[in-house]
Structure 1
């Protein structure tokens, strides 16, 4: 009988707690060491640390922890719960927060509906962080489509990439990770899909933005505009980009340049606000932006997908809205 994600997490967390005490490290370092032990199949010892008693304790614990029998999605949940504990225990800064599952599943649902591959395909995330969003989407796509998917993740934070690397290895997913600033030229091929929970704010290195059409005429440029432009550059003709953006993305003074650029390279196929209840105030509300690169079989949808997801507390209305999206795809994109 498979262990539940909660049981898997409890056992995994015990290993992290034991290692944190033995190594006298941060919770993040202990979690990564714990994951590496499981990936390698043995407890790593350096200069006699951890001691033999701890090694024996961990070895027994790993025998009880049946990760090989768990689904990739269950393993992703274990790593997600572990990182949430890292945030609490190590007081990790706010920009390292993970995309909540509710949002990840909605983005995955939309990607699943607009894409239908009868061949191996590729997806990338230019702000991959811990890999939670990318692996959520890949796991959902794999349930809906048996074709193999290869992922790419880019991030300039080595600590977050370590978490992503451990998560991907434990889930046995086919994903390559790159440590770099995603505003610079990327080391990836053109892909079929892009997904990102975009950072919001200004990009400080103006010199790096000289080739961007969405850069500000004066002062710093919006990093989310730049990352959307960069993502579309690395999509195949007809490829879809699905981005988590501020709901007011088309209501700022920079939006005129941004919209002009969109029309030059892509079709604006949809903008759906997330439920207002997920955000502390209206100004913080976010939306899912759906863009499709020009070329291939792509065309402008006769009716752009606009609206707002109903509250999760209204399951009937929420289900009806999801069916409306399904119908919109069939009548506007297929």
Structure 2
């Protein structure tokens, strides 16, 4: 990243941070709620909508006056927003489901998608658990910049605050998207797409009645939400289309794996399972992998060889680049033949 881009990221982060801190103190509310208000108003410059005291209104107005959307590209804005959300998580001590997918992982997911869809003029994406939208916007920006594809983007999120953050982030980045503020498992009327991607929430889905009709539901007790979301997502992927999901590395070693594997047979091809570096996780049990699924139909077939492996440390650039070359070779010689 250029020095100019880094300076711009810091500059826009300061706009978000300074404004949020003023609003937080003025309204005696969380940093996150204040950031949501800032993201909602910074582009329009509508300081009056914040309903602040006169001195605070003047202070925020002066900060907003330093921001001109046309001076920034989408990636700069995304990274600054990401920094502000990370600060909100730290300041407000927010629970783990607000954690943002690291850019290193988002870049790998984007790289995988770009390799498979290089040469396509149009591509549609869906994230069934988009959170604050960081993974979806990071990949969208990467695909636009790397393979110049025209994108159609959709995302689903049930959490109020995360949905508002995502919606404002998309708007600021000028990424047109169809966003659904709903519970994915209640079968949202989402569009059919070429690619589903998501950093899936892990754990049990609490409302058993909503899982009726899902093949991956548990026969006893609550069902795994990540299994349900994989099924939902792939049901919204076109024939021959792909799904890229961040899942627990041990996804096939749990007692619930039987239902997932049973559903997969005849519905999707497991084309790859790539463990992410252990250094990114607090322990082996929390390690995640990128699962690559492909829907049947549309000329799709099981790859000659399933891509299995573990990414080397992202810090070891030589080994990392070598692994990416191996992925390129696999896509060319095994997956897309």
Give the TM-score taking structure 2 as reference length: 0.94
C-alpha displacement at 1:7, in angstroms? 2.4
C-alpha displacement at 1:194, in angstroms? 0.4
1:135–1:168 CA contact under 8 A, matched in 2: yes
Task: Give the alignment partner of residue 22 of structure 1, picking from 26, 32, 56.
Answer: 26
* More deviation, 249-258/59-68: 59-68
| Cross-structure match for 2:311 | 309
Q: Cα deviations across residues 135-164 of structure 1 (Å, max 9, x unaligned)?
A: 111111111222321211111111110010
| Cross-structure match for 2:15 | 11
C-alpha displacement at 1:60, in angstroms? 2.3
Q: Cα deviations across residues 158-198 of structure 1 (Å, max 9, x unaligned)?
A: 11100101111110101121111111222221111100111
* More deviation, 228-237/15-24: 15-24
Is 1:120 aligned to 2:119, yes or no?
A: no
Cα pair distance change 1:16/1:299, threshold 3 Å: same
Question: Secondary structure of the residue that 2:85 maps to in structure 1?
Answer: helix
C-alpha displacement at 1:119, in angstroms? 3.3
| Cross-structure match for 1:86 | 88
Distance 2:288 2:141 in 1: 23
| Cross-structure match for 1:182 | 184
After TM superposition, the structure 1 = structure 2 runs for residues 53-72 of structure 1, keeping only pairs within 5 Å, are 53-72=55-74
1:8–1:66 CA contact under 8 A, matched in 2: no
Q: Cα deviations across residues 200-252 of structure 1 (Å, max 9, x unaligned)?
A: 11112111112111111212211111110111100011110000001111112
Q: Cα deviations across residues 100-159 of structure 1 (Å, max 9, x unaligned)?
A: 222211111112112235333210111111111111111111112223212111111111
Distance 2:266 2:225 in 1: 19
Distance 1:275 1:45 in 2: 45
Distance 1:130 1:51 in 2: 29
| Cross-structure match for 1:220 | 222
| Cross-structure match for 2:99 | 97
Give the TM-score taking structure 1 as reference length: 0.95
* More deviation, 51-60/87-96: 51-60
1:152–1:176 CA contact under 8 A, matched in 2: yes
Q: Cα deviations across residues 25-56 of structure 1 (Å, max 9, x unaligned)?
A: 2211211221122122331246xx32333333
2:78–2:134 CA contact under 8 A, matched in 1: yes
| Cross-structure match for 1:235 | 237
| Cross-structure match for 2:293 | 291
Is 1:202 aligned to 2:170, yes or no?
A: no
C-alpha displacement at 1:85, in angstroms? 1.0
Flag structure 2 segments of 5+ consecutive residues without an equivalent. none
1:12–1:65 CA contact under 8 A, matched in 2: no
Is 1:139 aligned to 2:141, yes or no?
A: yes
